[in-house]
Structure 1
Amino acid sequence: MAASIRDVAREAGVSVGTVSNVLNRPEIVAPATVARVTQAIEQLGFVRNDAARQLRAGRSSSFGLVVLDTRNPFFMDLAHGAQRRAIDDGYTVLMGGSDDSPQREHSILEMFEEHRVAGVLISPVDTDLTQLWRLRQAGIPVVLVDRGSSDRSFSSVSVDDIEGGRIAARHLLEQGRRRIAFVGGPLGIKQVSDRVNGARSVVAEVADATLEVRETQALSVLEGRRIAEEILALPAERRPDAVFAANDLLAMGVLQALVMTGSLRVPEDIALIGYDDIDFASAAVVPITSVRQPAVEIGATAVGLLLSEARAGADAVREQIEFTPELVVRASTVGGA
């Protein structure tokens, strides 16, 4: 059986209150008593129950992180940055994935509230932020990640996805591509809609260029393969000569389907560009051009904002930080060049 605080008090010959003071406020305890209690802790192998202590205090040393998809390496990199920054300040990060489901997101946020997390980082599924307002009213600060706050009511760390869409479309047009297919969805996800809108604005400036939107049910490899199979089934004159995928997982799925059939070559027949620049993009059989988001930096920056809000309390100032995406050119759009 694990040693309790009472066991430590008995072993050291002091009260339970004295042991508590040694653990939490050692500066008010005589050095000789601190040494005696510390020796008893070491002898008994006592480990204090921080979870119970935090619940009694009405606070936690954990932040909650809600992402759209825990299988997406982009969000894993984001979580890595958040965790690394949080640990530096004595916190840890609990993560849940909404799987693009508002209902699942709601459940995760309820659990975080029940656990009295010190703050919440979230990439929301949709635009209804009612539950986030309720969390903040309960004293739990909230920071949006990979999503801006258009009315500046929440602090946020995001990437300019409209510009990212422009960057992707402009690059494809510069390679001489004119029939571009945007592959991504659900379109209700703001990041997806921003990327397609950015691409659409650039394509509209070129008279002979078109942009066709092929909505997916998820941002996954399997959905990318499904859309690629639909494209392969089209008559040659109706096929796109370029695909802009809303993320790299979709781009990988498109590439897999094209490579497996061998009927269309990348980039000779169809150029392909993704978004996020996850590690798998550069390691693909045809390395995938991608629009890079600084995922680790986004996570770390978001925790920094959350710490600032937690310390400021009611006086917190909402900050919006937006990164500019970068194009990383690889063989899927320019071949061996």
Structure 2
Amino acid sequence: MTTTNGSAVPRRAGIADVARLAGVSVGTVSNVLNRPDRVTEKTRSRVQAAIEELSFVRNASARQLRQGRNRTVGAIVLDITNPFFTEVVRGVEDRLAEDEYTLMLGSSDEDTVREERLLRRFEEQGVHGLLVTPSHTGIETLLRMRERGVTVVLLDRSSPVPDMASVAVDDVRGAVLAVAHLLEQGHERIAFLNGPLTIRQCVDRREGVLRALADAGRDPESLVEVTVESLNADHGARAMRDLLDGDAGATATFCVNDFTALGALRTLRERGLRCPQDMALVGYDDVSFAAELATPLTSVRQPTHEMGWRAADLLLTSAEPEQVLYQPELVVRASSGG
């Protein structure tokens, strides 16, 4: 085989090459790789020497295809650059490693077209199952995939149907904790930097914000809501600029996630405003950097690693579509003045 520029591409050694060099049958090489107890020590040594000389690496995908199973799991999250998802995925990897499964990972970037493309690609690869954080509120595509025999577990999203497994956090409760804390600090006018309402987590956190205001007897009209197009720091910074330029009188801001809060902090610093004296701030997720910022960030903690581990465990072991809902915890730090 040659490349487009004419240079030769070394051929990968196969099991027949190993057998030829070792002077044994292909079946004997297969036994050395898979059932070494069936082969004498002398023959095993000869085959191992041939494997090392040829730098032979078994073709796992072909082996799995012959056996009718695939030890690969696909995962699709909203944005792998978000530390929240990085920590969740580490939990997924740790659980998969226990049973020697491999992870294929993709980011939807909150784009339904990109998500559909990734789902199709993973299904074509014959993955053992899928862990998915949907980029929109509907799960129709996932339901159709399940009808075709693909095991699906929703990740960071409660299932809207009773027979699909899911692992999530009670986001309504998390937002109640965040806003109730700001109200207890004496703030009369609170801003909410939220994401698109096509994302379930944004819908639930908005519901929690309104519930906290109602519980405190506050008029929902007192809420200043700014929508970010994407749940990242740059859009958080832009949303905080819009909030400040609008002069809505808010003295505290609840951000839909810590990445958005990071951008909001950047804008406050650029404007020469102090946090929490000029603007109190609460994030959501309690990712690793939250406690390390110059002004440590108050945030709603989610058990990220455990969520990923549990979702992968459900995919591999659960016979019933279990739905796991964790309870969040508010971690108070300097950014909210608590």
User: Please, what TM-score do these two structures have when normalized by structure 1?
Assistant: 0.91
Looking at structure 1, the residues matched to 170 and 296 of structure 2 have their Cα atoms a distance apart, in angstroms, of 24
Partner of 2:73: 63
Alignment of 1:320 with 2:330, yes or no, is no
Looking at structure 1, the residues matched to 135 and 163 of structure 2 have their Cα atoms a distance apart, in angstroms, of 17
Letter of the 1:327 counterpart: L
Give yes or no for contact 1:184–1:218 (8 Å, CA) kept in 2.
no
Q: Structure 2: where are the runs of 5+ without partners?
A: 1-9
Give yes or no for contact 1:183–1:213 (8 Å, CA) kept in 2.
yes
Q: Structure 1: where are the runs of 5+ without partners?
A: 310-315
Deviation at residue 155 of structure 1 after TM alignment: 0.7
The one of 281, 286, 289 aligned to 2:298: 289
**Distance of aligned partners of 1:179 and 1:129 in 2 relative to their CA distance in 1, 3 Å threshold:** same
Partner of 1:100: 110
Aligned length: 326
Partner of 1:312: none
Partner secondary structure for residue 268 of structure 1: coil
Identity %: 47
Deviation at residue 88 of structure 1 after TM alignment: 1.5
Looking at structure 2, the residues matched to 135 and 21 of structure 1 have their Cα atoms a distance apart, in angstroms, of 37
Deviation at residue 17 of structure 1 after TM alignment: 2.4
Post-superposition CA distance 1:221-276 (Å, at most 9, x none): 111111111122133xx3211111000111111111111111x3211222110001
Looking at structure 2, the residues matched to 67 and 193 of structure 1 have their Cα atoms a distance apart, in angstroms, of 17
Partner of 2:283: 274
Alignment of 1:3 with 2:6, yes or no, is no
Looking at structure 2, the residues matched to 27 and 155 of structure 1 have their Cα atoms a distance apart, in angstroms, of 40
Letter of the 2:277 counterpart: E
Post-superposition CA distance 1:300-333 (Å, at most 9, x none): 1111111114xxxxxx211011111111111111
Letter of the 1:48 counterpart: R
Alignment of 1:14 with 2:24, yes or no, is yes
Partner secondary structure for residue 121 of structure 1: strand
Partner of 1:138: 148
Give yes or no for contact 2:301–2:329 (8 Å, CA) kept in 1.
yes
In the TM superposition, 1:1-337 aligns within 5 A as: 1=10, 2-29=12-39, 32-208=42-218, 210-235=222-247, 238-262=248-272, 264-309=273-318, 316-334=319-337
Looking at structure 2, the residues matched to 276 and 170 of structure 1 have their Cα atoms a distance apart, in angstroms, of 17
Deviation at residue 27 of structure 1 after TM alignment: 4.2
Letter of the 1:287 counterpart: P
Partner secondary structure for residue 279 of structure 1: coil
Deviation at residue 147 of structure 1 after TM alignment: 0.5
Letter of the 1:95 counterpart: L
Give yes or no for contact 2:112–2:136 (8 Å, CA) kept in 1.
yes
Post-superposition CA distance 1:53-79 (Å, at most 9, x none): 223434322111100111101001111
Deviation at residue 175 of structure 1 after TM alignment: 0.5
Deviation at residue 170 of structure 1 after TM alignment: 0.8
Partner secondary structure for residue 215 of structure 2: coil
Letter of the 1:72 counterpart: N
Give yes or no for contact 1:244–1:274 (8 Å, CA) kept in 2.
yes
Looking at structure 2, the residues matched to 24 and 216 of structure 1 have their Cα atoms a distance apart, in angstroms, of 53
Looking at structure 2, the residues matched to 131 and 150 of structure 1 have their Cα atoms a distance apart, in angstroms, of 14
Deviation at residue 138 of structure 1 after TM alignment: 2.9
Looking at structure 1, the residues matched to 18 and 33 of structure 2 have their Cα atoms a distance apart, in angstroms, of 11
**Distance of aligned partners of 1:207 and 1:321 in 2 relative to their CA distance in 1, 3 Å threshold:** closer
Deviation at residue 173 of structure 1 after TM alignment: 0.8
Deviation at residue 130 of structure 1 after TM alignment: 2.3
Looking at structure 2, the residues matched to 134 and 187 of structure 1 have their Cα atoms a distance apart, in angstroms, of 24
Give yes or no for contact 1:58–1:116 (8 Å, CA) kept in 2.
no
Looking at structure 2, the residues matched to 57 and 138 of structure 1 have their Cα atoms a distance apart, in angstroms, of 20
Give yes or no for contact 1:64–1:95 (8 Å, CA) kept in 2.
yes
Letter of the 2:311 counterpart: A
Letter of the 1:324 counterpart: Q
Partner of 2:3: none
Partner secondary structure for residue 322 of structure 1: strand
Deviation at residue 51 of structure 1 after TM alignment: 2.0
Deviation at residue 28 of structure 1 after TM alignment: 4.4
Give yes or no for contact 2:226–2:243 (8 Å, CA) kept in 1.
no
User: Please, what TM-score do these two structures have when normalized by structure 2?
Assistant: 0.91
Partner of 2:5: none
Letter of the 1:57 counterpart: Q
Looking at structure 2, the residues matched to 246 and 109 of structure 1 have their Cα atoms a distance apart, in angstroms, of 26
Partner secondary structure for residue 290 of structure 1: strand
